[in-house]
A and B are shown apart, each in its own frame.
Chain A
Amino acid sequence: MTERKTTHFGYQQVPVEEKAGRVADVFHSVAARYDVMNDLMSGGIHRLWKRFTIELSAARPGQTILDIAGGTGDLTARFSRIVGPAGKVVLADINASMLKVGRDRLLDRGIAGNVETVQADAQYLPFPDNTFDCITIAFGLRNVTDKDLALRSMLRVLKPGGRLLVLEFSKPESKLLEKVYDQYSFRLLPFMGKLVANDAESYRYLAESIRMHPDQQTLKDMMGEAGFVDCEFHNMTGGIVALHKGIKP
């Protein structure tokens, strides 16, 4: 009998080749209600986490930026204004439903011209070497089956001196905070997910996948091993979220 390789999907073990499909189901099912849930779940704080990400990106007019796992395009919208007509932003996501909602949202916000949408997997980015000045992946790396592969793929398409920014849920700094946060995300979140998006499973998955994601130091080490230099992280909201930054040498 051959042994099947498994990986985690939230707290369950699933065969490696199944994880991507399961993650896709989650995001297909939440795409339409994604923005509402985001605000509801975080009390709007996700906007501040994203804002700090933009600040640290040091994006400038004329630059080329990749927002991978970009979903409904929050970061893309802001980047598009910063890089201006001479620059370019690529909004990429593995999921066609999320990408479609993202494209519609950008049009609603009056953003067009310097944005391109591409369906792409973070592990196998379909871009030439040394293409981007900056890559962001916000609340996306957690969902990727092989994170090392994704980090290396992002390194490849960055220009030398280019920045990678990983915004992701992480480990709260205090035990007490962790406890409250656990209650919130394991009890309240799936229930809200059920009511708003008619989908408790997806939000249960979100809560579980957050706990399975590498903590601050582990992710920083992984970035270093993948070849990034000057790696650093900033805790936000008591470490519930962390922003990691690394440079391509």
Chain B
Amino acid sequence: MTDPTFRAGFDATLETAINSALRYDPGTRARLDKLAGKVLAVALSAPKMNLFLVIEDERIEVHSRWGGEVTTELQGSAIAFLQLLKNRDATPAKLGVTVRGSSAFLAELQSILRDLDIDWEEPLSKLVGDSPAHQIGLGVRAAAGWLKDALGKAPGAAAEAVSEEWQVTPPQAQFEAFAEDVSELVQGVDRLEARIAHLRQRLNQRGTD
């Protein structure tokens, strides 16, 4: 199974994209509020996945599973779904999308989402997924970057933290050793990522042999 964080990343990015577009659009938010509690289920055939858009007061939540009631259900390919969201004269029938349940809710939601400026492709890139090494890499880099920043901004506080940590002053040599550890760690992550990319490539090649 692929790492569940990929799918969670997709859902989170999509949700953020929709709701940040909504933030600057009070008129649309008010329209959305009228739909509160309604749920659109989307069953994509290619790629195969389920998606639930749940209307919450003035925002939309994205779920990969939903146990409750569904107002409208759509079935079709991702391309067709994107067309529905972006294209003014796209209709489910023209695109071969099956609709079950309330079509009034679908029409209203479609018109709301079309009016918003949403980048639908960005969330899709998350689905492809980062390797665990890449995910940790992000953490390590964020931490290392932050560390550099903190040391630059408040050298006094950092020096104090460092000397307390080692119970000596000035811990110049130790501090350098520590800095080296950090950069080694970042390099370690890079190596790990490269190795995984390499393995992946070999697996892919094997797949097409």
Interface of A toward B, CB cutoff 8 Å: 40-45, 47-49, 51-52, 55-56, 58-61, 81, 172, 176-177, 179-181, 183-184, 187-188, 190-192, 194-195, 198, 200, 234-240, 243
Contacts and interface: CB of A to CB of B under 8 A. Distances in A.
Interface string B93-133: 00000000000000000000000000000000000000111
Contact of B192 (A61, A177, A234, A235): A177
Contacts of A195: 147, 150, 157-158, 161
Contact of B4 (A42, A52, A181, A240): A52
Given A181-B136, A237-B3, A48 B9 contact: yes
A139 to B, nearest CB: 15
List the 3 closest pairs (A to B, CB-CB), nearest first. Answer: A238-B132, A43-B139, A48-B8
Given A42-B139, A184-B139, A238-B131, 9 more contacts: A40-B146, A41-B139, A52-B5, A177-B132, A180-B185, A180-B188, A194-B162, A195-B158, A243-B4
A80 B164 CA distance: 42
B181 interface: yes
Given A51-B11, A180-B192, A236 B147 contact: no
Nearest to A195: B161
Interface residues of B, number: 46
Given A49-B5, A237-B5, A192 B136 contact: no
Contacts of A47: 12
Contact of A48 (B12, B136, B143, B157): B12
Contacts of A42: 139
Contacts of A58: 65, 67
Nearest to A190: B165
Interface string B136-161: 10111111101100100000011001
B70 interface: no
Query: Could you tell me the dominant secondary structure of chain B's interface residues?
Result: helix
A181 B161 CA distance: 23
A40 B139 CA distance: 7
B8 A180 contact: no
B5 A236 contact: yes
Contacts of B181: 183, 187-188
Interface stretch (B24-32, B56-64, B80-88): B56-64
B4 A236 contact: yes
B124 to A, nearest CB: 16
A177 B142 CA distance: 18
Contacts of A181: 136
A184 B140 contact: yes
Contact of B64 (A55, A191, A235): A55
A181 B185 CA distance: 9
Interface in B172-191: 178, 181-182, 184-185, 188-189
Contacts of B185: 180, 183-184, 187-188
A234 B6 CA distance: 13
B138 A60 contact: no
Given A56-B65, A177-B132, A191-B178, A43 B192 contact: no
25 contacts: A43-B138, A43-B142, A47-B12, A48-B8, A49-B8, A52-B4, A58-B65, A172-B132, A177-B132, A180-B133, A180-B185, A184-B136, A188-B140, A188-B143, A188-B147, A192-B146, A194-B162, A195-B150, A195-B157, A195-B158, A195-B161, A234-B1, A237-B3, A238-B131, A238-B135
Given A52-B4, A194-B161, A179 B188 contact: yes
A61 B141 CA distance: 39
Interface string B48-91: 00000000100001011101100000000000000000000000
A180 B92 CA distance: 49
A60 B67 contact: yes
B164 A177 contact: no
Contacts of A40: 142-143, 146
Contact of A51 (B12, B132, B150): B12
A176 B192 contact: yes
